[in-house]
Structure 1
Amino acid sequence: MIIYNIWTVLQWYVRPILKWFLRKTTRLCELQRICYGDIAGAQRTRNVEKSLSLSRTKDVKEVISFLDRVVLEKQFVPNNFHNLLDPSISIIMRVKKINPRLHSAFISPFRSCLEQIWSYKNLVIEVEELRTIQFDSNNIEHEEKLLKLWSLLVPDETLESRISKQWQYIGFQGDDPKTDFRGMGLLGLENLLFFASQYPRASSHVLSHSLHPTYGYTFAIVGINLTAMAYYLLKDGCAKTYMFNAKQYLPNLNLFHRFYCFLFYEFDKMWIESKPQNIMEFSVIFKKFENAIRTELADPASVFRINIEVDIV
């Protein structure tokens, strides 16, 4: 703790001197060096975010506060990017003395970083709101989503009634799944539904493993536990590696669902490879899995994809 505090103090004084020296020798500000030198994706965006957050310049701080406020007002959406980011970029370039005619190549990568940074902040709020919505059996939309989950996972078997022991087949604890969604709210159901609808082959593959006579586990309960993992990885910023390296997408709810699907598929793979004697080994394997994911996310070059492997267990 003492060493950390000393390092923090040293950074406070040394950082401006180092930035001044590099500016004089390279004729580029820190943001330019990042946008020109770092690989596009998590490495570049996280470094831009760090540079902006450490800035002591009043105008830069005001831009950050403005964009943060826009996110809270739920106005940071693609249709507004032009009106929000153009003036923000202009202010930062003016403050950093970046000539737009000489450094037009800076604008595009810097804009992409800003889009990713504040889309991520917007996603955190969106996911939090979904998590706080409790499953309501009197809500027709909630009920329809739950029934759809059954039909997607077990298309060849009709659900005899809404309250049924059949729910245990797909890994709920009792006869009524609504009690299992308490911790993660509607987010847990939305994650499971996305996995079953968007990755039918992968979800069917995982469900078949969960029904294994020796290595089986409760599919839905594990899925809700993985929702919690994805949620906390998002909240503490570890998920930025996944989000910022997804080149075709900005951080949004669909991308969060895809992240969850990746976690579910990979956890299932680790579980089967671990050959557990019984479900009592779940907490140990789950923690091992979380540590492995955190280690992988610590590498800004990591890219995550679901690669279906045909196996016989």
Structure 2
Amino acid sequence: MALKKIYNIICFVFLNYIHSTREAFCSAMFLLNKILPILHLILRPCIKWFLHTFTRLCELQRICYGARAGANRSKQVERSLTMSRNVRIQELIKELNEQVDHCNDYEFNEFSSRAVPIVMREKSIKPHCHPDFPALFGQCVTQIWGYKRLMIAVERLRSEQYDAENPDHEAKLLNLWDELMPDTPLEARITKQWQEIGFQGDDPKTDFRGMGMLGLENLLYFVKEYKDAARHVLSHSMHPRFGYTFAIVGINITSMAFRMLKEGSAKTQFFNVCKTAPNINHFHMFYCYLFFQFDSFWMESEPRNIMDFSTIYQNFEGWVLHALKNDDTVFNSNSLIEII
């Protein structure tokens, strides 16, 4: 009994020590995460001065010449521009941000040709000494503000509510059925048949409330551009044990893709895929990849029932976000579709 008491005391002390050490470590890491950004802001001008003195290159030049093309370069350029204290560069950023909301294609294509000379003048970059800089920096400008323009286009689609009185909306909805169920005619506009492809009720329009026309456009793009893949996913959704609601899950994937776009984590994907400005089709392809990959993730998870959806959905989103933290990540929907 005495040995048992001594053993219990030792275990109690050891566990308390581990617990207190872990708390101290967590507290230290929390403080470090708070302090490091502040230290970086304080030391950044000194670091820039030091590097500029010894390399004879400004920060934007060092990024454009040294960083890999795509997300690695454009993210750093965007960060450098955002943190710049140069008044004219700040004004330039403000001007482009205001104009990207309503500019046409021609005006947008002029963004890089407007930004390059201003930055070169303000940073004293001589064209004859650095002939490669304009093209490298201009590409980053196109990607950065192309992403902003894409966010605006996607938001407009999301905020456009499905209208049963709109012939275009109705035609797209009926086209969705025809693409997924070519051998089964739709008996009526409002019918329980819609539940066969994963809508909740007899009228699909109610399911588009959260994501608006963006949800329908995503689904329609998937079933038209990647027909075999879409039907493959639909067949999985009808699995007797692991089945799920195809259309509803598809709309949830739209919500995920939209959230990643808005929060900026999707920049990795779009900056790596698009050498110029991303457009709405690139967003649709990103969606197709996510939907296709989620289906595989779902089947491999072997859910007990649809009640496991929330957990699996969150785990999948976490996996995608983790992958997007790597600047080299590229989600290629074409390679996935070719497997089928």
TM-score bracket relative to the smaller structure = over 0.9
Q: Which whole-Å CA distance do the structure 2 matches of 1:264 and 1:198 have between them? A: 14
Within 5 Å, give how 1:171-250 maps onto structure 2: 171-247=198-274, 250=277
- State yes or no: 1:159 paired with 2:182: no
From 240, 260, 281, the counterpart of 2:308: 281
- State yes or no: 1:36 paired with 2:65: yes
Alpha-carbon distance, 1:250 to partner: 2.4
Instruction: Judge conservation of contact 1:38–1:44 (CA < 8 Å) in 2.
Output: yes
Q: Which whole-Å CA distance do the structure 2 matches of 1:278 and 1:49 have between them? A: 44
SS state of the match for residue 292, structure 1? helix
- State yes or no: 1:294 paired with 2:321: yes
Instruction: Judge conservation of contact 2:257–2:287 (CA < 8 Å) in 1.
Output: yes
Q: Which whole-Å CA distance do the structure 1 matches of 2:266 and 2:307 have between them? A: 28
Instruction: Quote the residue 2:43 is aligned against.
Output: 14
Instruction: Quote the residue 1:119 is aligned against.
Output: 146
Instruction: Quote the residue 1:66 is aligned against.
Output: 95
Instruction: Quote the residue 1:256 is aligned against.
Output: 283
Q: Alpha carbons of 1:305 and 1:181: their partners in 2 closer, same or farther (altered >3 Å)?
A: same
Instruction: Quote the residue 1:133 is aligned against.
Output: 160
Instruction: Judge conservation of contact 1:52–1:60 (CA < 8 Å) in 2.
Output: yes
Q: Which whole-Å CA distance do the structure 2 matches of 1:278 and 1:82 have between them? A: 50
Task: Write the letter of the residue equivalent to 1:178.
Answer: K
Alpha-carbon distance, 1:201 to partner: 1.3
Task: Write the letter of the residue equivalent to 1:168.
Answer: Q
Alpha-carbon distance, 1:125 to partner: 1.2
- State yes or no: 1:266 paired with 2:266: no
CA offsets, 1:208-252, max 9 Å, x none?
Answer: 111111111000000000000001000100000110010356221
CA offsets, 1:96-144, max 9 Å, x none?
Answer: 1111111011111111100010011111111111111110101111000
**Percent identical residues:** 52
Alpha-carbon distance, 1:309 to partner: 6.9
Alpha-carbon distance, 1:84 to partner: 3.1
Q: Alpha carbons of 1:249 and 1:190: their partners in 2 closer, same or farther (altered >3 Å)?
A: farther
Alpha-carbon distance, 1:82 to partner: 4.8
Q: Alpha carbons of 1:105 and 1:87: their partners in 2 closer, same or farther (altered >3 Å)?
A: same
* Structure with max Cα Rg: 2
Instruction: Judge conservation of contact 2:100–2:108 (CA < 8 Å) in 1.
Output: no
Q: Where do 5+ consecutive residues of structure 1 fail to align? A: none
Q: Which whole-Å CA distance do the structure 1 matches of 2:111 and 2:147 have between them? A: 16
SS state of the match for residue 169, structure 1? helix
Within 5 Å, give how 1:145-156 maps onto structure 2: 145-156=172-183
Instruction: Judge conservation of contact 1:70–1:76 (CA < 8 Å) in 2.
Output: no
Task: Write the letter of the residue equivalent to 1:118.
Answer: W
Instruction: Judge conservation of contact 1:249–1:255 (CA < 8 Å) in 2.
Output: no
Q: Which whole-Å CA distance do the structure 2 matches of 1:253 and 1:145 have between them? A: 17
Instruction: Quote the residue 1:170 is aligned against.
Output: 197
Instruction: Quote the residue 2:331 is aligned against.
Output: 304
4+ residue segments displaced more than 6 Å: none
Q: Where do 5+ consecutive residues of structure 2 fail to align? A: 1-29
Instruction: Judge conservation of contact 1:206–1:268 (CA < 8 Å) in 2.
Output: yes
Q: Alpha carbons of 1:280 and 1:157: their partners in 2 closer, same or farther (altered >3 Å)?
A: same
SS state of the match for residue 104, structure 1? coil
Instruction: Quote the residue 2:10 is aligned against.
Output: none
Alpha-carbon distance, 1:3 to partner: 4.5
Alpha-carbon distance, 1:81 to partner: 4.2
Q: Which whole-Å CA distance do the structure 1 matches of 2:41 and 2:162 have between them? A: 47
Q: Which whole-Å CA distance do the structure 2 matches of 1:141 and 1:210 have between them? A: 28
Instruction: Quote the residue 2:85 is aligned against.
Output: 56
Alpha-carbon distance, 1:32 to partner: 0.6
Task: Write the letter of the residue equivalent to 2:138.
Answer: R
Q: Which whole-Å CA distance do the structure 2 matches of 1:120 and 1:59 have between them? A: 22
TM-score, with normalisation over the residues of structure 2? 0.88
TM-score, with normalisation over the residues of structure 1? 0.95
Aligned-residue CA RMSD (Å)? 1.5
Q: Which whole-Å CA distance do the structure 1 matches of 2:118 and 2:276 have between them? A: 27
